[in-house]
Amino acid sequence: MCKKISPGRKTKFINQKAGIEITAVTDQDGTDYMNGREEAPLKVLDFIEKQVVIKFGVTGVKQEVDLHIEYKSSSIHDDFYKQYKKGEFEPPKVASLIKKKMYEPGEHQLLWNGRDDTPDKRLLLAGDYRIVIAGRLWLWNKKHQVDFKVGKPDAYNYGVHYKKKGKMESSKKDVGYAEKGLKSLKDKTGYMVYSQFDRHAMEAVEEMKSAAVVYFSGHSGPIVMVFHGKEGGKFSEKDKSRLFMYRVAKMKKNDAAIRTEKAGVFKDMLFMMINGCRAVNEVRTYQGMVYHFNPRGVDGKHGTNTTEALMRFQGCHGIKPADGKKNPATLKWFNISENLDEKKQTRAIQKVLTGIFAGKPDGKLGTRTRKSIRNYQKAHPELNVTGELDEATLKALHIGDKRSGFQIPRNIADAMGFKGADITMGFIHKVGWDIAMEWAKAFWDDLSKGKGINTAASNAQASVDHRKRKQFDYKIYALEGISQETTLHPARYGSARE
At the topology level of CATH, where does 154-281+411-492 sit? Rossmann fold (3.40.50)
Q: Where is 291: in which H helix or E strand?
A: helix 282-291
Confidence class for position 62, pLDDT limits 50, 70, 90: very high
Q: Pick from 199-208, 389-398, 401-410 the range whose average pLDDT is largest.
A: 199-208
330 SS3 class: helix
Residue range 232-288, pLDDT digits in tens: 989 999 999 999 988 888 889 999 999 889 988 888 789 999 999 999 998 988 888
Q: Give the residue-averaged pLDDT of 408-419.
A: 91
**How many separate helices (H) and strands (E) can be counted in the chain?**
14, 18
Q: Output the pLDDT for position 405.
A: 58
Q: Output the pLDDT for position 139.
A: 82
Supply φ then ψ for residue 323, to 5 degrees: -110, 5
Rounded Cα distance between 328 and 324, Å, is 12
Cβ burial of 462 (10 Å; 0-12, 13-18, 19+) is: exposed
Q: What stretch(es) of the chain map to CATH 3.40.50.1460? A: 154-281+411-492
Contact 48, 210 (CB under 8 A): yes
Rounded Cα distance between 373 and 393, Å, is 8
Q: Give the residue-averaged pLDDT of 6-34.
A: 78
Confidence class for position 367, pLDDT limits 50, 70, 90: very high
Q: Which DSSP string do the residues of 394-452 spell out, in sequence order?
A: HHHTTBT-TTSSS-B-SSHHHHHHHTT-SEEEEESS---HHHHHHHHHHHHHHHHTT--
Q: What angle do CA 289, 473, 229 make, to 5 degrees?
A: 65
* CATH architecture assignment, domain 7-150: Sandwich (2.60)
Closest CA to 477 of 291, 241, 266, 189: 266
Q: Give the residue-averaged pLDDT of 152-165.
A: 93
Q: Give the residue-averaged pLDDT of 130-154.
A: 93
Rounded Cα distance between 148 and 128, Å, is 6
Contact 223, 281 (CB under 8 A): no
Q: Output the pLDDT for position 363.
A: 84
Q: Output the pLDDT for position 82.
A: 80
- Whether the per-residue pLDDT at 34 is higher than 60: the answer is yes
- Whether the per-residue pLDDT at 371 is higher than 80: the answer is yes
Q: Give the residue-averaged pLDDT of 279-307.
A: 92
Q: What is the side-by-side strand order in the sheet with 63-71? A: 93-103, 63-71, 127-137, 140-150
Q: Give the residue-averaged pLDDT of 217-231.
A: 94
Q: Give the residue-averaged pLDDT of 409-434.
A: 93
What is the average pLDDT value for the chain, to the nearest integer? Answer: 89
353 SS3 class: helix
- Whether the per-residue pLDDT at 87 is higher than 90: the answer is no
- Whether the per-residue pLDDT at 61 is higher than 80: the answer is yes
- Whether the per-residue pLDDT at 202 is higher than 60: the answer is yes
Q: What stretch(es) of the chain map to CATH 2.60.40? A: 7-150
Contact 291, 278 (CB under 8 A): no
- Whether the per-residue pLDDT at 294 is higher than 60: the answer is yes
Please enumerate in sequence order all residues whose Cβ is within 8 A of that of 188, keeping only pairs 6 or more positions apart, or say none: 76
Q: Which DSSP string do the residues of 64-95 spell out, in sequence order?
A: EEEEEEEEPS-HHHHHHHGGG-BTTB-TTEEE
3-state helix, strand, coil split of the chain in percent (to 5) is: 35, 25, 40
